[in-house]
Chains A and B, each alone.
Chain A
Amino acid sequence: MTLHAPSPSALLGDLAVALATGTIEVVDLTHTLDQDFPVIVLPPEFGQCGRFRMEEISAYDHRGPAWKWHNFTCCEHTGTHFDAPSHWISGRDIPNGNVDEIPVERFIGPVCVIDCSEGATADEDFELTPAIIEEWEAEHGRIPEGTWVLMRTDWSKRRGADYLNMRGDGAHSPGPTPDAMKLLVHERGIRGFGTETVGTDAGQGSHYTPPYPAHFFLHGAGRYGLQCLNNLDRLPATGAMLIATPLKIKKGTGSPLRVVALVPREGAV
């Protein structure tokens, strides 16, 4: 890492040029907020995640002649969304643990992408383990502190019932083991963890100890979750910058959001 950084204004100026010329590409990691996009399904006696819904208020008609607009409703955890520490019981006492309280600089940071797509294609219950993380680090270097870590599984390419992949014994989708989360959170000090699946945890994550280890360890340590991410196959293993700014919802535990990544394109002009 060089200490000869340019001045902040030069840096932003260079960034603007890079964005304009495409040498830094903006990649959209977000799914469209769609009424039919799957949400997490809990046992029905529990309250459920609200599906995205949209009602037309007017459409240049008798309800409003020159304008069109909608009311929409959804859960904080609908679609591509952000989990704040207050989302989980382990994070209930974390200071500034709600989306409106999180310092805004926490939303932007470098991102490492661990490609598990091959394993997840072969095994729908594929686990991200410390060994896989260490193997990744052997190739790409140690995960720096304050980094977003995304688990790429290509799960976002699944459609319909294959996405949640619910069966009689629950959902089957890849996710991290408790040890992997302990490693990332406590030893690497990551900023947050993101997945392409409907949650940061595996479909069978309730059977770990503790149950839902990603939620448990991330939020217990004041870190963030991102789920239902898209286009992770368009990110490099390292070197990209992630921007994930949730809505400023008072005492909110999460928020649908537009997640984008800045990706350097070395070959571009």
Chain B
Amino acid sequence: MTTPIVPPPKKDPQKRTRVPTRPSELRSRAALGLAAAAAEGRFMLQVCTECGAVQYPPRDACAACLSVDLPWKDVSPNGRMIAETAVRTSTNVYFRERTPWRIGTVRLDAGPSVMCHVHGDVERGGAVRIINRLDKSGQGVFFALPSEGTPAMEDDPQLREMTCDPKFRRVLITDGRNENAVALAKAFSDAQASIIFVGEAESWRAYPHRDTLAAIPNVEILPLDVTDTQSVTELAGEIGGKTDILVNNARFVRPGGIMDRGDTVFARDEMEVNFLGLMRLAQAFGPAMRGRGADGQNSAAAWVNLLSVYAYSNMPAFGAFSASNAAAHSLSQCLRAEMRAGGVRVMNVYTGPTDDAWHQPLPPPKVAPTALARAIIAGLEDGLEDVFVGDVAKDLIEKWRAGAKVLEREMTEAAGD
């Protein structure tokens, strides 16, 4: 039985904050396929195109027929744990600090045996479901869960190392004015976040949902304007040391591309909020979060960017907005690399058109704020790096992976109607 976690005690101000350490990050290029799959929470293994043999560990040629065509495929995650141990001495500092650490050997129904981290509720020799998760070094690792859910299973200390569960963590949602803010704050409140700081720009002008937002349990509204370096710096000075999850939902969106706009005014705003806003936040909040990646049960855990899926391929009707998101998408990769030293996850949540004023004339499907909020919480609970919310985003990324150039042409066609 997993012991449910309780709200952590206040930090002892005389103790040094534990410096983040990480499990081994070294991997072959083939093994990075695990990280790519874990980024989306998928359990994938290499499967030989020619003979169908499922491979593990990741490799460059099929161990059954020597074919070198070994694409990653979703395979059955079910199996049985045939051996286990509790590692009590480790040559790696990260594990040394966390022993005993339970690992096991699981025989997968799909064929291979894998070595994996093991949830405390898995019984000896029991049936398991393997998940592929990113560890603190951002590499994909296997984690065996009991095949049936158990009470408070998300609180397993080893599993919590692989996730960014909001439970008892302190969250900053950067833009309270955004129409999605109520749904986001409510979702974090429901997920037992201990404090939900909500940034509010331009408190000198009212917005309709402010009272609703303020009434959500554990919400605290604080001044924050991501276009204003001083404001960002000031808030980071106040709460940067207790921001465990930062959700950057500040977003400036206007329709229009290049020639139909005729100026760069909105484009500047789009870059100011969507790109430079991210950079300002990262410069102000990033160092403290990175330094607190191992700060106990409510360590800094995740940085969440809400991005347009048109970051991948430009939607000309929102052409400049798409471009600003492409810039933010690229910057988020840089942020991810820089945050990795602290084991802090950078999770990008991509959507197609959202259900708001700026996409009002667009036909469905559109992503409702509640759906977005659900996806964020689920993504954090699974420790993901890339989340695609809604049919449009899922469809687009699939097409992008199949052929980015074909997709570009397809997107342009839609705009030319």
List chain A positions with a Cβ less than 8 A from chain B. 35-36, 38, 41, 44-45, 47-48, 51, 53-56, 160-161, 163-164, 166-167
Contacts and interface: CB of A to CB of B under 8 A. Distances in A.
B269 A51 contact: no
B266 A47 contact: yes
Nearest to B223: A36
Contacts of B203: 36, 160-161
Interface string B182-218: 0000000000000000000011111000000000000
Contacts of B265: 47
A54 B229 CA distance: 7
Given A54-B229, A164-B205, 4 more contacts: A36-B231, A45-B254, A48-B269, A161-B203
Given A47-B263, A47-B266, A48-B269, A161 B204 contact: yes
A36 B263 contact: no
Contacts of B202: 36, 38, 51
Contacts of B269: 48
A54 B206 CA distance: 24
Given A35-B231, A36-B231, A54-B230, A160 B204 contact: yes
Contacts of A51: 202, 225, 227-228
Nearest to B357: A44
A166 B202 CA distance: 12
**Interface residue tally on B, bucketed by range:** 10 to 19
Contacts of A54: 229-230
27 contacts: A35-B228, A36-B202, A36-B203, A36-B228, A36-B231, A38-B202, A38-B204, A41-B205, A44-B357, A45-B254, A47-B263, A47-B266, A48-B269, A51-B225, A51-B227, A51-B228, A53-B227, A54-B230, A55-B229, A56-B229, A160-B203, A160-B204, A161-B203, A161-B204, A161-B206, A164-B204, A166-B206
A166 B203 CA distance: 11
* Residue picked from A38, A53, A56, most chain B C-beta under 10 Å: A53
Interface string B3-28: 00000000000000000000000000
Contacts of B229: 53-56
Q: Which 3 A-B pairs have the closest CB atoms?
A: A38-B204, A35-B228, A47-B265
B123 to A, nearest CB: 58
A76 to B, nearest CB: 13
Contacts of B227: 51, 53
Contacts, number: 44
A167 B203 CA distance: 14
B295 to A, nearest CB: 28
Contacts of A45: 254
B178 to A, nearest CB: 13
A38 B229 CA distance: 17
Contacts of A161: 203-206
A247 B68 CA distance: 69
A164 B204 CA distance: 7
A74 to B, nearest CB: 12
A38 B231 contact: no
B204 A36 contact: yes
Contacts of B231: 35-36
A45 B266 CA distance: 10
B126 to A, nearest CB: 57
B408 to A, nearest CB: 28
Contacts of A160: 203-204
Contacts of B228: 35-36, 51, 53
Nearest to A34: B230
Contacts of A38: 202, 204-205
B225 to A, nearest CB: 7
A35 B230 contact: yes
B262 to A, nearest CB: 11
Contacts of B225: 35-36, 51
Contacts of A48: 269
B310 to A, nearest CB: 20
Contacts of A35: 225, 228, 230-231
Contacts of B223: 36
A189 B265 CA distance: 36
Nearest to A41: B205
Contacts of B254: 45
Contacts of B263: 47
